[in-house]
Copies of this chain bind each other. A is one copy, B any other.
Amino acid sequence: MEVSGAPADVLLQHPWLPVSISGCQFLAKIWFGDLEYHILLTDMMCVWEERMDSAAIQERAQKLNRRVRAEVKAFFSHLVEVVQPCLSGDGEPAEIEAQVTLMRREDGNISMTLNSKLAGLPFKWEFHCTAAPVTLVCAQLVCPLLAMSRLLQRQVEQLGGLLLRKDAEIQDYRENGATLSRERLQTDVFEEQTYREDFMAKALPLLCSEQTDARGFDATLQHLYAAVIAQANKRTRKRQLSEERPVEEEEEQPDASPSSGPGSVTNREQSQTKMADRAAVQQSVPATSSAAERPSSKPKKKKVGLFR
């Protein structure tokens, strides 16, 4: 496996796309650069990755397709064309027919084989994915999921507060003699502790009997993931700017842009890609993705990175 200069922050902007390969459910992120790629796969039990640069792609393409003579550019553009629909999450077959099979190896690694046709000849590609570095798993999953949990927890608390206010309003109407025209409209008084206990008792067993694999990361959570990443990215850029021009620290201002409506997905994703591009350009600190690359021996006060 060749380690190329895959921009970790750009990959972070990508959504985790649900893919089904050989009957297994995975979440995938794939980034194609200029004759290089970085793929991430997870079944939530492990996370695998492969980073390949131009030379490695050329070598593997030749090795797997001895009868096909082509430049690395031709191999690569064919690969992009074939792989992207397979890993686009919508599960729709590519226009160019391609078969993807997955094999879990004895050593825990996985191989994903892709069979298609290039200029009429059979074309084969293999992704050799090995366990991703823990720091990458933390950046791509642990930190965002923790931020999402915190955000949702806060929302739960806020909605609980709103319910108490609704009850106070209802109580006032009732105390002033108001009655309901339709009895079925009457609600129970919201009691936070009782509600939570009841919710946990009912929802928890259901949740655990449902999709606990990659499919559990559903569209709503994907949306939240994107919003959390976009915000962390915005914050990183602000820090970088303020470190470049040290003025008095700006206060974070609430920003009205991250709408959560399903209709705004495409717009958000587009703007995220732009942000990601900008972030990649402005990123002055090397994106470390392996524990072995950590340089510091002392805790730093001012870390520049997402989720810091």
Q: Which residues of A contact B (CB under 8 A)?
A: 22-24, 42, 44-47, 103-109, 131-135, 137-139, 141-143, 145-156, 158-160, 162-163, 165-170, 172-182, 185-187, 190, 193, 196-197, 199-209, 212-213, 216-218, 220-221, 224, 227-228, 231-232, 235, 252-261, 290-299, 305, 307-308
List B contacts of A209 (CB < 8 A). Answer: 235, 252
Pick the residue among B108, B137, B159, B173 that contacts A156 (CB under 8 A).
B159
Is the beta-carbon distance between B181 and A208 smaller than 8 angstroms?
Answer: no
Is the beta-carbon distance between A299 and B172 smaller than 8 angstroms?
Answer: no
List B contacts of A227 (CB < 8 A). Answer: 200, 204
Given contacts A137-B134, A201-B257, A203-B155, contact A146 B216 (CB under 8 A): yes
Given contacts A166-B163, A217-B146, A252-B209, contact A131 B133 (CB under 8 A): yes
Is the beta-carbon distance between A47 and B308 smaller than 8 angstroms?
Answer: no
Q: How far is the CB of A20 from chain B (nearest CB, A)?
A: 11
Pick the residue among B143, B216, B305 that contacts A150 (CB under 8 A).
B216
Given contacts A168-B185, A293-B108, A299-B22, contact A212 B143 (CB under 8 A): yes
